[in-house]
Each structure stands twice: as C-alpha cells, then as structure tokens.
Structure 1
Amino acid sequence: MPRKTSAQRLRAGHILADLKARYPDAHCELNWSAPHELLIATILSAQCTDVSVNRATPALFAAFPTPHAFARATALEIEPYVRSIGLFRNKAKAIHASCCLLVEQFGGEVPRTMDELLLLRGVARKTANVVLSNCFDSHVGVVVDTHVDRLAHRFALTNATTPMAIERDLMALFPQPEWGLLSHLLIFHGRRACKARGGDCAHDAICQKYCSQARSKAKTPTAPKALSAAKKSRAPIVKKVARKSAPRR
C-alpha cells in the first residue's frame, strides 16, 4: 500500500470522526435479507440509483427466492423483473450466470473471499467489497463508487485516477476495521451534502473543513451590482432645450 505520513493519517482520523458524529446510522441503502440478495442488488446498482434497485428487487426476489431458483430460470425470464433498470438485459445475464456458478461451484452459497467472488459474472472489486463487508463483516478493501471517488478527491485523500489506486490510498489512511463503515459514511455525505451537482457543500460544516469544492466556492467573489442599480445612483441629466426664435417676416 502507499506510504502515508502520520499527519495524513491524523487528518483522515478527524474526517472519520466528524462523519461518524454526523451519520451515526450510516449503512448500506440497498434492501436485502440474504447474501445472494445483496450480491444481486449490487450487480443491478451499477450505473443506477439504489432507489431504483430497491423498487425492482421485492418482486424479483419473490419470484426467485434462492440462487437455485435463479439458476433454474433463464436470463429472459429474469428480464421482466429488472426492465426498469438501466442495462437490464446484460444485468439479467450476469445475475443468471452468477447464480449458476453459485449452485455449481459453491453449493448455492455466496463465497466469502475476494478471489472467489471475482469469479462471478458482473462482479468486480466494488461489488465484492460490498458483499464481504456487509454480509460477512470481512473488511479486505474499501468500496469505491462514484460518491467515494468524488469525496476522496475533494477531501484530499487521494490524487489517484483509478478505483483500485483510490482504494489503496484509502486503505493506507484508515484502520482496517473501519473500511466498511468508511464507505457508508462517504456515500451518505456524498448523497446528502457534498453532491456532484446542485449541492450546498459551501455551507456544510464538514465540507468547510475538508472539501476543496466548498473552499473554492467560499473564495468566489460576489457578482457586481446590477447595472440598473448603478444607473439609479447617477444624477439625472437635464437637457437644455433651445428656444426657437420667431421667424422674420
């Protein structure tokens, strides 16, 4: 992992403490009741909001309650339940293929190691970290989604440009037992305050302390007064009208 100074780790600790105080209930916002459900929900969440996934999964999990049920179905039979989600055809294929492998190779159980999870179709490190952390309390990495990526840069926790490099920077800064909670805290703050667009982070106390975006907004000079206001301050100009002389006769 990258080497970090004690000052960098101390600052990271302050960020973590402030986020914990702000969001004591930070958690995964995907709805699930079994490891395979979180696995499938996370596959569906790629380039899609958790809200959209949570709308689709109740009917999906009712129709296919186990990995065996998904494996017995076809991708075409899964598609109608996820049609409201972007890239639904590819995701239906990934869900079916993953559940087939769960049944064939893992006895219908979700594996508990990173290497085994990465064998599943549609599963990369982000999805594997979500499953391991939330289902098995196994913290082998940090979930790096769009919110974690954005806040890690704004809070000067990384200069990296790839998810793996960002993850390694975060792993080097924060204690391993906190890696799972860290991602929840950053995601909560990214969704509620430090948004990509239209957020109010310039007025948020945590962002004012750590976020480069908030500081840049605070330094932006106020707009000049409207031209109409300037015009009002000017003294009126009185035009002199020359009197016409009577025509000579």
Structure 2
Amino acid sequence: MEEETSERLKTLQLIEEYIAKKNKEDIPVNSMGAEAIAGMTQNASNKPFYTFLGTFLSPQTHDEKTFEAVKTLHTTFGELTPEIINHTSLETLQKCIKMVGFAKTKSKRLKECCKIFIEKYDGKVPSTFDELCALPGVGTKIASLILAIAFDCHVAIPVDTHVFTISNRLEWADATTPESTRIQLEEWLPKDKWSTFNKVLVSFGQCCCTKKSPKCSECPLQQARRCPYYLHTLQK
C-alpha cells in the first residue's frame, strides 16, 4: 500500500506542476469559485456567509453561474447577511439566483438555512461539520468546503464532479458515488494534502481532464503514461 500511495502522490505532483504553469485567472475555480465569492465582502466576519452562499448554490452549476448569482444578490441588496436573505421573498430570491441549477429548491432551502443561522447561531454560519451537515440542502461536500475555505478546517475531502471523475479515472478510487469516493480517498491520501486536493483536481478538471472531452494530448499524465483511463479506454 505504501508503494501504491507513493506512486499516486507522484501522479498528484505532476497535476500540481501542470496547474502551477497555468494562468490562474483562466481557471474558473480561481476567479469565480467560493473563495472569489468570499472576496465580494470586505467584512472579514461576514466571509463565512459569502462562502456559504458560494458553496450552497454551486451543486449542478458552473462556477461562472454561481458567481453571477451571488453577485446579483450582492448588487441588489448590498452587504448580504442571513437577516437580509430571510426577509427576502422567495419570488425575489428565485429571480436573483435563476441562473443556478434547481433555483426554486435552493431558494427555499437557503431561506430555511438563514432562519436557522438567526435563531440558533446568532446570525452566524456554524463552524462544525455536524452542524453544517444538519442544515437543509447541505451535505458532506458543501460542509467540508465551507469549513476549509471559511474556517481553515479540513475534516473531510470535498468530492465534486471533478474530484469524482478524475479520482476514478486514475484508479485512486473505485466508486459509484461521491461519498464512497471520499471515503476511499481518505484511506490513503495524507492529511496534509487534504487542504489543497479539491482545488487542484477541480482546476485540473476545468482546464484539462474535463468530463466529456478530456484534453489527453496536452495532459502530463498521458505523456508520463500514468493515466489508466487513457491507457485502458481511450488508447484502444
């Protein structure tokens, strides 16, 4: 297992080196991801709420659309708080975030979350994994991303579509769901890599190892013959 982990970490290093050579602004997760959304507010104490908005609205939605949705809210209402969202009508909220996937459902659950923040957490975003996972519409991925970005706390590996696809293509996991992928990744990935792993793989998935048409010709893993997906599937 140690040898296998060592080889996997060498592959991860190749991905990290590839990403480091790219213009960061050309990768959506850097310019329009949850960290960029948190940068919309100048109030440090309110960054966790902007992080929450950026992650909560992101499922089934490209970073560009999530960023646009939060920007629309920010432009419409100014500095965003749970109180402002809680007092906004569902109809207005849905119009503001209409560009994200499942906007109607997310509007309803977003208001429910904000009400909980007000009633239970003094208007703040909770800072523990269990508290976040107990919120409506929040699962392991969203909770772990909020903790990582807003509180620099890394208790789980966030697995989105990019992490899921790439991890299984590289045979770092053999799973059919994001949650089982997370569990398998956490069994071998050193914990000091957890803080950067999601962003590295999301970046790689956005600029090279895309889900539908991966750019294998420019991929360092294909060139180093370190991609099982290419060797066993695409090369045939």
User: Normalization by structure 2: what TM-score?
Assistant: 0.84
1:173 partnered with 2:179: no
Q: Distance in 2 between matches of 1:49 and 1:23?
A: 19
Distance 1:119 1:204, change over 3 A: same
CA RMSD of aligned residues (A): 1.9
Which of the numbers 64, 76, 83 marks the counterpart of 2:98?
Answer: 83
What residue in structure 2 maps to residue 236 of structure 1?
Answer: none
Uncovered stretches (5+) of structure 1, i.e. residues with no partner: 221-249
Secondary structure of the corresponding residue to residue 210 of structure 1: coil
User: Normalization by structure 1: what TM-score?
Assistant: 0.80
Structure holding more helix per residue = 2
What residue in structure 2 maps to residue 15 of structure 1?
Answer: 11
Q: Distance in 2 between matches of 1:166 and 1:190?
A: 16
Contact 1:18 1:206 in 2 (8 A): yes
Secondary structure of the corresponding residue to residue 171 of structure 2: coil
Aligned length: 216
Structure 1 residue ranges (4+ consecutive) displaced by more than 6 angstroms after TM superposition: none
Contact 1:8 1:173 in 2 (8 A): no
Amino acid aligned to 2:104: R
Contact 1:160 1:166 in 2 (8 A): yes
Identity, % of aligned pairs?
Answer: 24
What residue in structure 1 maps to residue 220 of structure 2?
Answer: 205
> Between Structure 1 and Structure 2, whose CA radius of gyration is higher?
1
Distance 1:87 1:201, change over 3 A: same
1:98 partnered with 2:98: no
Amino acid aligned to 1:32: I
Q: Distance in 2 between matches of 1:214 and 1:126?
A: 27
Uncovered stretches (5+) of structure 2, i.e. residues with no partner: 39-46
Which of the numbers 42, 67, 74 marks the counterpart of 2:89?
Answer: 74
Q: Distance in 2 between matches of 1:199 and 1:164?
A: 23
